[in-house]
Amino acid sequence: MTSRESRDLDPADWSEFRRLAHAALDEVITHVQSIREKPVWQRAPDATRQRFEQPLPLGPRDLSDVLADVRTHVAPFATGNLHPRFMGWAHGAGTPTGMVAEMIAAGLNMNCGGRDHIGIDVERQIVRWMSEAFGYSEGASGLFLTGSSMANFLAVIVAKMNAIGVQTREAGLRRADAQLTAYTSAEAHSCIAQAMQLAGIGSEHLRKIETDSSGRMQPDILKAAIRADRAAGFLPFLVVATAGTVNTGAIDPLPDIARIAREDDLWFHVDGAIGALSVFSEPLKHLTAGIELSHSIALDFHKWGHVPYDAGFLLVKDGAAHKRAFASTAAYLQRSDRGLAAGETWPCDLGPDLSRGFRALKTWMTFETLGSDRIGDAILHTCELAGYLAERVRESAIFELKAPVALNIVCFGVKGASGGVNRNLVLDLHELGIAAPSWTTINGVDAIRCAIFNHRTTRSDLDLFMDAISDLAKRA
Ligand SMILES: *Cc1c(COP(=O)(O)O)cnc(C)c1O
């Protein structure tokens, strides 16, 4: 036993705790403020990794010592996505406000699965804002999830229940009259196929519709595939369009897909993980026209919205259909007409999570402090930067574009190169800490992929990146 009198887990000396906590906050603010001076990424050395192979500590250590470990062994080896020359995958950069919000949310430590407290209202505020932004009506519902992978999965579940009835929650798919089939494009994110697997329908029953040369789903091929499946006795139930593909940022023709979904009685879901938030930019808004015709939308505030990880979101137009797919009548989830258990619909009625953090606060604080115009402008700026980078590639004697630039994603590579040359250039840049693009495969050839999400990126960052990668390519 320790010599402490109290058996609670609070600090013994609050004023010492306050001093350390303030210093830690100062330090992380400095980290964000001076991010440009640091390498984009560096691999954690073996000694650092070994620090996290220790046995479970039985006794206490001073917070100051633990914070020193964080300073030495954690902070320098982060993902790198705060840095203006991080252009890999599809990562948001965060904001200092979001960081403070996370701290407050952790302090309040709300459980936002349900019950009558203000966290639920804050989340509903975001649902209302998003309903308005995407042209959904009053009855829409929504909830925060880890990311769009989960949001897309939940959309598949809601669409499935809508097609074959809620009795299949108990009876399972074997009682369904026909084999369900769903449709998405060949460029859709892999989480759509996984959602079909998790939903028990099977990814074999997801038809991957061919895309045009810009990476967009071809509506006539979609229509023909649905027809052929119906003729063969399948039950087409869902089409998933992508607003911003992960490879190139392509946006499927949403109005055409909406029309086909209506004609063929399919649930129309939009994976807007990347592109949905572009509605906040007036000049970009037209790109996602037709999104208001969808039945549901998945999006990520942690990507272009720069809310700190994680902040995925699902919006469903028909809130009642959404609730039917998940609500449960367990005794410990009973509602009351007053007290802490009041409220008709709780977030736990809209998804499988019961214990949930307060993701809504950091999202609300981000929109409140910046305003949607400024978020939209940062989104527009990254698209303009992508245009600038594409221009530099076109002017280059070494590189060529590998795909059209739709939004903020530029795919390019060494002219005529093969055999992983582009991938190696990317990995060299990572290890030098200069920039962090990613790589992908487009029409069977490897390409350097720059996804410019970061609100801190400038033209001079792109110049520095292009100069560095050109030097490396010349030396290779
Ligand atoms: C990132 C992404 C996903 C997955 O979202 P997570 O938030 O990473 O789970 C799905 N679809 C697209 C188009 C994406 O870009």
Question: Does residue 275 have its Cβ closer than 6 Å to ligand 1?
Answer: no
Ligand 1 atom 8: the closest Cα is on which residue?
147
The overall average pLDDT reported for the chain is 96
Maximal CA-CA distance, the chain? 77
Measured at the CA of 131, the angle between CA 300 and CA 181, to 5 degrees, comes to 65
- Give the distance (Å) from ligand 1 centre to CA of residue 90: 8
Closest approach atom of ligand 1 to CA 312 = 7
Whole-angstrom CA distances from 141 to 290, 309, 447 are: 19, 22, 39
Atom of ligand 1 nearest to the CA of 150: 9
- In the predicted structure, residue 278 carries a pLDDT above the cut 50: yes
Map tokens 């979001």 to a residue: 98
272 lines ligand 1 (CB under 6 A): no
149 Cβ closer than 6 Å to some ligand 1 atom: yes
Over residues 377-390, the mean pLDDT reads: 98
Report the alpha-carbon distance of residue 81 to residue 44 in Å, rounded.
Answer: 16
Residue 59 has, within 13 A of its CA and on its CB side, a CA count of 6
Other CB atoms within a 10 A radius of the CB of residue 247 amount to: 20
Encode pLDDT of 409-421 as tens digits: 999 999 988 788 9
| Tokens, residue 391 | 């221009």
Per-residue burial over 73-105, b if 16 or more Cβ lie within 10 Å, else e, is: beeeeeebbbbbbbbbbbbbbbbebbbbbbeeb
Ligand 1 atom closest to 152 (CA): 10
Q: How far apart are the CA of 312 and the centre of ligand 1, in A?
A: 9
**How far is 119 from 125, CA to CA, in rounded Å?**
10
pLDDT of residue 455 exceeding 80: yes
In angstroms, what is the span from residue 79 Cα to ligand 1's centroid? 17
Does 1 score more than 70 pLDDT?
Answer: no
Closest CA relative to residue 436, chosen from 453, 420, 416: 453
Ligand 1 and 147: CB distance under 6 A: yes
Q: Do domains 110-370 and 373-475 have the same CATH topology?
A: no
- CATH annotation of 110-370: 3.40.640.10
Whether residue 241 contacts residue 183, with contact meaning beta carbons closer than 8 Å, is answered with no
Contact 319, 140 (CB under 8 A): yes
C-beta neighbour count of 409 within 10 angstroms: 30
Rounded-to-integer distance, Cα 252 and Cα 242, Å: 6
The bridge status of strand 296-300 relative to strand 267-271 is: parallel
Please report which confidence band the pLDDT of residue 3 belongs to, taking 50, 70 and 90 as the band edges. Answer: low
Cα-to-centroid distance, 147 and ligand 1 (Å): 7
Residue nearest to atom 5 of ligand 1 (CA): 148
Helix (H, G, I), strand (E, B) or coil at 313: strand
CA–centroid distance, residue 149 to ligand 1 (Å): 6
* Residue 437 scores a pLDDT above 60: yes
Q: With respect to CATH, is domain 373-475 assigned 3.90.1150.10?
A: yes
In this predicted structure, the answer to whether residue 37 has a pLDDT above a threshold of 50 is yes
| pLDDT at res. 4 | 64
Q: What's the average model confidence in pLDDT over 167-191?
A: 92
CA–CA distance from 179 to each of 158, 205, 208, 234, 276 (Å)?
17, 8, 17, 5, 31
Q: What is the tens place of the pLDDT at every residue in 118-165? A: 999 999 999 999 999 999 989 999 999 999 999 999 999 999 999 999
The answer to whether the CB of 435 falls within 8 A of the CB of 429 is yes
| Domain boundaries along the sequence of the chain | 110-370, 373-475
Q: Is 148 in the pocket of ligand 1 (CB under 6 A)?
A: yes
- Other C-beta atoms within 10 Å of 106: how many? 12
Q: Which uninterrupted H or E stretch holds 145?
A: strand 141-145
251 ligand 1 Cβ < 6 A: no
Rounded Cα–Cα distance for residues 297 and 240 (Å): 9
Region 434-457: mean pLDDT is 95
pLDDT recorded at residue 174 = 80
Q: Is the shortest distance between the CB of 88 and ligand 1 below 6 Å?
A: no
**32 DSSP assignment:** H
The alpha carbons of the chain give a radius of gyration, in whole angstroms, of 24
- Is residue 351 lining ligand 1, measured as CB closer than 6 Å? no
Taking a C-beta distance cutoff of 8 angstroms, is the pair 437, 450 a contact?
yes
pLDDT of residue 463: 98
Helix (H, G, I), strand (E, B) or coil at 164: helix
Going by alpha carbons, the residue nearest to atom 7 of ligand 1 is 147
pLDDT at 256 exceeding the cut of 50? yes
For residue 274 and ligand 1, the question of a CB distance below 6 A is answered with yes
**pLDDT (tens digit per residue) in 42-87:** 999 999 999 999 999 999 999 999 999 999 999 999 999 999 999 9
How far is 254 from 185, CA to CA, in rounded Å?
A: 12
